Amino acid sequence: MQRKGCCMNSNSGKNETCQSCEFQDNLDILRQINFFSHLPLEALKVVAYLCTRETFKEGEYLFHQNEDDGLAFYIISGKATLFHKDKDGEHMIRNYLEGEFVGGLTLLGPLHRLFSLQSTTDLTCLMLNREKFTKALEQFPDLMPKILKIVVDIVRAWEERFLSDYTASCDACKHHIGVSLV
């Protein structure tokens, strides 16, 4: 997502310019993520500054089932596959592609992962951890009600998608409806 002209200046100040471009790219990405998009610009700038980028090689795990790493990921490039392990083995759930955000709820508090996420190609992610996100929230204490509203909206949208895919003849599905009633 690097913009044309970024980091193409003379050697003097090149590192500073690259960091400035990366910061702006991070800010642009955060504006696209529903979890962050409704936050005030000043708060978004702090969060963009706290984000890091990491590259994973094909086959590397971003996280493992049952761990609480407190990390959220935005896939800048590449592809990853979500797996769930149970008594019958490991099952592929779905793929995550460029432009998808994974793990926002881990930023809000301890949460043991129900899944594992493995890169299926070389993968570059924008990452944020819970500790840094919490420090950003401390600077903007009025943000928590906005974030909670965003989470509620995300849960409602998820359940609306579930209902649109729901088949009335699926008895097992009936027990999974009502997440937004929690």
Q: Tell me what pLDDT residue 6 has.
A: 53
Q: Tell me what pLDDT residue 3 has.
A: 40
- How many other CB atoms are there within 10 angstroms of residue 150's CB atom? 19
Q: What does the pLDDT look like over 5-40, one tens digit per residue?
A: 455 444 545 556 676 799 999 999 999 999 998 899
pLDDT for residue 54 is more than 50: yes
Domain residue limits, the chain: 141-182
Between 137 and 163, where is the model more confident?
A: 137
Q: Tell me what pLDDT residue 2 has.
A: 40
Q: What does the pLDDT look like over 90-135, one tens digit per residue?
A: 999 999 999 999 999 999 999 999 999 999 999 999 999 999 999 9
Torsion, Cα 64 67 33 95, to 10 degrees, reads 20
Q: What does the pLDDT look like over 143-178, one tens digit per residue?
A: 889 899 999 998 898 888 888 877 677 777 777 677
Does residue 42 come out as left (phi exceeding 0), alpha (psi in the -120 to 50 range) or beta? alpha
Q: Tell me what pLDDT residue 8 has.
A: 45
User: What is the C-alpha separation between 117 and 60, in angstroms, rounded?
Assistant: 9
Q: Tell me what pLDDT residue 172 has.
A: 74
pLDDT bin (cut points 50, 70, 90) of residue 141 is confident
